[in-house]
């Protein structure tokens, strides 16, 4: 799915100009608190000159674990080419990219929960939709792509539709799509990540990616989130 004609009116929920509002969200009204028992561990001394195993790295340290954009885009490009040789059409390719993204999304959410538990004595779990979407817009995007998304928008006509806008998606930056596959949106991979995180947080939805080019941002992509009816019913109860 590549071309998204924006058939419905929509309003902005969050943009990069209002990033500070995300950092000051009050968890008291939109989240429930939980804690996990801590297991005391005794660090074992390591022999000098031995390179540390990747599984021994501290998951809470993020500054030294960043991957270069070149390595990321090269690996993703190879993934697309590998998958392309094993599909029958564009829809099948997007479906497989979505599935791969879903697998990544489950691990991203698990890692974020682990870090939240390690950095806070009383970690919180979002139970309201808007704070959960803001968390995806900022924290998930920053964890995966190194920057937050550009905006969150809500459909005016359909209450079950929200959109996350990325003006310059990293995975689309160095990919050249052939003319005969112009409808392909490699951001289906990103849509899979978002869908997995929403499912893990308890907000089941169908997530798709659509190309919405602009004069200033020709690679602009909209991640369309169509929530299940149960999510809207729960939101009404929690109001």
pTM of the shown model = 0.77
With 0-12 / 13-18 / 19 or more C-beta atoms within 10 angstroms meaning exposed / middle / buried, residue 197 is: buried
Chain-centre distance of CA 200, in angstroms? 12
Residue 1: the pLDDT is 53
pLDDT tens, N- to C-terminus, the chain (239 residues): 555 555 456 777 776 655 544 444 344 444 444 455 555 556 566 566 667 676 676 666 666 567 788 888 889 989 998 998 999 889 999 999 999 999 999 999 998 888 887 777 777 778 899 999 999 999 999 989 989 999 999 999 999 999 999 999 988 888 877 787 878 889 999 999 999 999 999 999 999 999 998 999 989 999 999 999 999 999 999 88
Q: CATH for 10-24+68-238? A: 3.30.1380.20
Cα separation, 54 vs 57, whole angstroms: 6
Residues 6 or more apart whose CB falls under 8 angstroms from that of 135 comprise: 126
Residue 180: the pLDDT is 79
Residue 125: the pLDDT is 79
Residue 164: the pLDDT is 97
Question: Would you tell me how many other CB atoms lie within 10 Å of the CB of residue 27?
Answer: 14
Q: What are the sequence ranges of the domains in the chain? A: 10-24+68-238
Radius of gyration of the chain (CA): 19
Residue 34: the pLDDT is 47
């Amino acid at each position: 799915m590549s071309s998204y004609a924006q058939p419905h009116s929509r309003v902005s929920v969050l943009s990069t100009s209002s990033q500070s509002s995300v950092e000051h969200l009050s968890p008291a009204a939109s989240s429930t608190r939980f804690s996990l028992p801590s297991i005391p561990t005794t660090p074992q001394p390591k022999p000098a000159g031995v390179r540390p195993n990747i599984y021994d790295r501290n998951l809470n340290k993020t500054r030294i674990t960043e991957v270069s954009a070149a390595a990321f885009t090269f690996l993703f490009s190879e993934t697309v080419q590998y998958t392309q040789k094993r599909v029958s059409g564009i829809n099948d390719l997007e479906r497989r990219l979505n599935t791969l993204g879903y697998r990544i999304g489950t691990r991203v959410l698990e890692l974020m929960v682990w870090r939240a538990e390690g950095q806070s004595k009383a970690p919180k779990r979002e139970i309201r939709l808007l704070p959960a979407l803001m968390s995806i817009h900022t924290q998930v995007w920053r964890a995966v792509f190194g920057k937050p998304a550009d905006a969150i928008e809500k459909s005016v006509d359909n209450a079950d539709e929200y959109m996350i806008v990325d003006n310059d998606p990293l995975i689309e930056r160095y990919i050249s799509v052939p003319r005969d596959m112009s409808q392909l949106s490699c951001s289906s991979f990103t849509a899979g990540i978002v869908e997995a995180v929403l499912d893990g947080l308890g907000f089941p939805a169908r997530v798709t990616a659509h190309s919405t080019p602009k004069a200033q941002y020709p690679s602009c992509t909209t991640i369309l989130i169509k929530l299940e009816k149960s999510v809207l019913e729960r939101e009404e109860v929690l109001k």
